[in-house]
Amino acid sequence: MASKRNTSLLIAAIVALLFGALTILSGGRALFGGVEARAAIGDAVPFVLWFNFVAGFAYVLAGIGLFLQRRPAVWFSIAILAGTVVVLIALGVHILQGGAYEMRTLGAMILRALVWAVISAVALRHLGQGRRTAI
């Protein structure tokens, strides 16, 4: 029996894949680029930068799982959201302790958390327990 692809799940998968690719590219440039690339990031917070770079690969894997309509992609998406929230909280602590940071970093982490909250909700709705998907 052919599976009917859900539009919102497909959009979530595409967003995860694109978000992941862009995160890998920008994080890689910031971490491994030349002096100019490092200067352009300003007061980047190293643990946030490394988390985002590594998370970019997880975004791609989650996007593939969502595209293939695999149930583990639900829990993978939730794990990405949880990790992002933990790093966002750690960033907040860093800021409250007077650590240097860029306002765009805080904004980007909030955006990441919101994006993964939506992706996780879509994944849970369409692939969560009790839903049947094609294998």
Q: How do the domains of the chain map onto residue ranges?
A: 7-127
Residue 68: DSSP 8-state: T
Q: Give residue-wise pLDDT tens across range 48-98.
A: 999 999 999 999 999 999 999 999 999 999 999 999 999 999 999 999 999
What pLDDT is attached to residue 34? 79
71 CA to centre of own chain: 18
Helix axes 7-32, 46-67, angle to 10 degrees: 150
pLDDT of residue 16 exceeding 50, the answer is: yes
pTM of the model: 0.86
Dihedral of the alpha carbons of 87, 92, 95, 101, in degrees to the nearest 10: 50
